[in-house]
Chains A and B, each alone.
Chain A
Amino acid sequence: MSVLVDQNTRVVVQGITGGEGRFHTEQMLAYGTNVVAGAVPGKGGKQVAGVPVYDTVSGAVREEDADASVVFVPPAFAADALFEALDADVDVVVAITEGIPAQDTSRVYRMLEETDTHLVGPNCPGVITPGEAKLGILPGNIFESGSVGLVSRSGTLTYQIVDNLTSRGLGQSTAIGIGGDPIIGTDFTDALGLFEDDPATDAVVLCGEIGGEDEEAAAAYIDEHLETPVAGFVAGRTAPPGKRMGHAGAIVSGSGTGTAQSKIDALESAGVPVGDTPEEVVDHVADLLD
């Protein structure tokens, strides 16, 4: 078991003919992901890495039974690609694209509310169920199948913590990179709900960062709804107010909201041990699993 994606997930790649799309399609196939189609307007009938390309997402769904999409479409056209994926009614959409205008994402988010689709991202590394499937750009070889769920707003920080987990023999059920933008589809609370319902997940690592209040919301949710133990990490303790730390969403506002400390406090008061270092997070996970 796992969440969101597994060996049966049938993936359509939007933007498969672009450089990123092509490269990561090859990587996903090499990992064993069931990539069944590509979708690019005007490129129907071609093949990329042996995968048939369709003009539309609905064509890929109709002809190849695709039930998940990974989006590598450039920012100016990404919102349209996401609307198309939502309209085609796939179960999961993973939006890798970084730099989508916030007002576009807001409209996508609005449409998402009308559907049952899980949107992951945008500006995210993707989702992986080790040994089964990866949708996105995560480096598959650092993951190991196991029982720790992981949800994170960051890419390389996720890899760092996964690397620490794997080298301690703690494999992962599914890892979800929810993305570094201010507006995202699946948030911490959604991901925690999925892990809670997954019998293969025995503990969860929640990896947050400065900006917004999603970690605080997650803490409240954990307190009320979660049986599964959670360990946490929050990046950006030393970030100065008003400076955007790389991610569009990673900013401590002038009025003091979104600080690492408020998130750490919220998580700790919900009983979540928060590590000072990535290695310490792994210590906490090991304790939780004992």
Chain B
Amino acid sequence: MKLHEYQAKEVFAEAGIPTPAATLARTVDEAVTAAEELGYPVAIKAQVQVGGRGKAGGIELAADANEARAVADRVLGMELKGYRVDRVLVEDAVDFVNELYVGVTMDRGVGRPVAMVSTRGGVNIEEVATEEPDAIAREHVDPAFGMFDYQARKVVHEAGIDRAVAGDVASVLTTLYELWTERDGADAEINPLMVTDDNEVVAADAVFNVDDDALFRQPDLAEMEEETAGDELEAKAHEYGFDYVHLAGNVGIIGNGAGLVMTTLDLVDYYGGQPANFLDIGGGARAQRVANALEMVFADENADAVVFNIFGGITRGDEVATGINEALDQFDEIPKPVVVRLAGTKAREGMEILDTDRVRVEETLEAAVQAAVAAAEEVDG
């Protein structure tokens, strides 16, 4: 789960990381009032959870009230990478001489947290990481002990940070690491950490992503989660408790188990179709869940046919088939061709139970995908 910049800054400030004075605004008038109170210049920043807001026109400076009004008017309500901007952060514009990068994340390959520091702040750090990996100093942390002070000093030194601010940067990193552990961070980043001409450091941006699996023990952060004005079907899937990703293709896909669903997507592509979605309905296939899943792919305008692939496993194929038949009963008509393939325990019995007036049945995964791709093409004309 991603926090908004303003939320992350509240969390950072509470922990003692310096952040610029700022006010959240939801209307143009609120934004102008906030700017007047802060004093100019101010930065007006769209609060949407996407990267590269600056380049996309979501962040701009204002030198006086007229500019503040014009910027707020343009940014509030704009579409930014598919997200509508409904609030802006009005912030004291920091007069900086340098932009640094400080971050903490989990290094999955090593299985340990890693602290990162770079003098190359203010730009896309992933690009820096790919093109000049040596420009980012890294220090792995033993989770049994946490980050020692010397480690913070060391990684700051190795990044080549100016002596005049090294102590403060190390202290920000130490605080960020502690915050990351205490609040179950997935990624915590300050990019840029600005250095002013009198050698103060200020977190001019803040990223804090919480480990979804740890939200149960971070109730106040969980409360910050909100319905983002993103994809409607993805919001629906969230409500139904499906793992779902909306794509743009013509073949809807329902299956069980992440790896097998991904494979089904890949096969749709391999046989010349395009996957419309990833939908994992999870273990078993009770009628209501099947009906909810079908409702989702039926609602997807791009999907012209559906392939439904369930590996029975512990759940028996005949039970799955009964669930599918019951789910089909909930629809007056089946609006798109549905191809079903069952495998595993009692799959054959299951396939015999399925109502072939309403769905087409195939015995192998390959055949089912090919049939769905062909059916979608027929609809496409």
Contact = CB atoms under 8 A, between A and B. Distances in A.
A279 B143 contact: no
Contacts of A236: 262, 265-266
Contact of B217 (A76, A157, A207, A276): A76
A106 B112 contact: yes
Contact of B213 (A207, A217, A248, A255): A248
Contacts of A107: 143-144
B203 interface: no
Interface in A69-89: 75-76
B257 interface: yes
Contacts of A240: 245, 247
B312 A139 contact: yes
A157 B186 contact: no
Nearest to B270: A276
A109 interface: yes
Candidate in B144, B259, B266, B344 with the most chain A CB atoms within 10 angstroms: B259
A227 B130 CA distance: 34
A4 interface: no
Contact of A160 (B143, B213, B260): B260
B311 A256 contact: no
Contact of B262 (A75, A137, A246): A246
A278 B265 contact: no
Main SS at interface, chain B: mixed
Contacts of A214: 109
Contacts of B130: 255-256
B312 A154 contact: no
Interface residues of B, number: 54
Interface of A: 27, 75-76, 99-107, 109-111, 137-139, 141-142, 152-160, 163, 180, 182-183, 207, 209-210, 212-214, 217, 233, 235-240, 243-250, 253-256, 260, 276-279
Given A163-B343, A182-B106, A213-B109, A156 B257 contact: yes
Nearest to B266: A237
B266 A155 contact: no
Given A246-B280, A254-B126, A256-B130, A102 B213 contact: yes
Interface of B: 51, 106, 108-109, 111-113, 126-127, 129-130, 142-144, 181, 184, 186, 211-214, 216-217, 243, 245, 247, 255-263, 265-270, 275, 278, 280, 311-314, 343-345, 364-366
Contacts of A102: 106, 186, 211, 213-214
A163 B278 contact: no
Given A103-B106, A139-B312, A157 B263 contact: yes
Contacts of B184: 101, 103
B278 A246 contact: yes
B345 A141 contact: yes
A247 B263 CA distance: 13
B113 A106 contact: yes
A223 B322 CA distance: 48
A76 B106 contact: no
A180 B258 contact: yes
B217 A156 contact: no
A159 B344 contact: yes
B266 A110 contact: no
A251 B261 CA distance: 14
A99 B127 contact: no
A155 B245 contact: no
Nearest to A217: B109
A142 B344 contact: yes
A235 B262 contact: yes
Contacts of A213: 109
